[in-house]
Amino acid sequence: MKMVNQDEEHLKLLSILHYVWGGLTALGCCFGGFYAIVGGGVMTAATQTQGANAPPVWLGGIFFLIGAFIALLAGTVSVLTILSGRSLARKKHYTFCLVMAFVSCLSIPLGTALGIFTIIVLQRPGVKQMFGQMPASV
């Protein structure tokens, strides 16, 4: 009985940490958006400025594409991490939570710590049973 309560507490804590990590990852969207805005400004300046001091238009395009990619990637990972936290709280979608734990490991160092602890907790037999992955022991 004590192990079940400990597993539930760990899942609740991991759920909260996934929400926090998802929010921090969402800040990456701001950096990507800023980068894209700078790229757009360079493109605008390049088309409006005449002469030898004008920046090349393609430079702004590269900035814009990189910024848009960063914003899209960070936004997607952020939403998926928050959904993973919600799934942990509801004890549903075991495979999705496990995959997102591995994805979190790619974000060094905080995401790695969160991902490793999530993988460790999800591998426990009691937690698998809570998610409906294992039949109840007789």
Answer whether 71's CB lies under 8 Å from 58's CB.
no
More confident residue, 138 or 41: 41
Residue 132's pLDDT is 85
Closest to 55 measured CA to CA, from 37, 40, 69, 67: 40
Over the stretch 82-130, which tens digit does the pLDDT of each residue have? 999 999 999 999 999 999 999 999 998 999 999 999 999 999 998 999 8
Counting other chains too, the contacts that 21-25 makes at CB distance below 8 Å and 24 or more residues apart are 21/81, 21/85, 21/104, 21/107, 21/110, 21/111, 21/114, 22/78, 22/79, 22/81, 22/82, 22/84, 22/85, 23/78, 23/82, 24/110, 25/74, 25/77, 25/78, 25/81, 25/107, 25/111
For residue 101, what are its two tokens? 């734990």
Closest to 57 measured CA to CA, from 69, 68, 34, 41: 41
Residue 2's pLDDT is 64
Mean pLDDT confidence for 54-83: 89
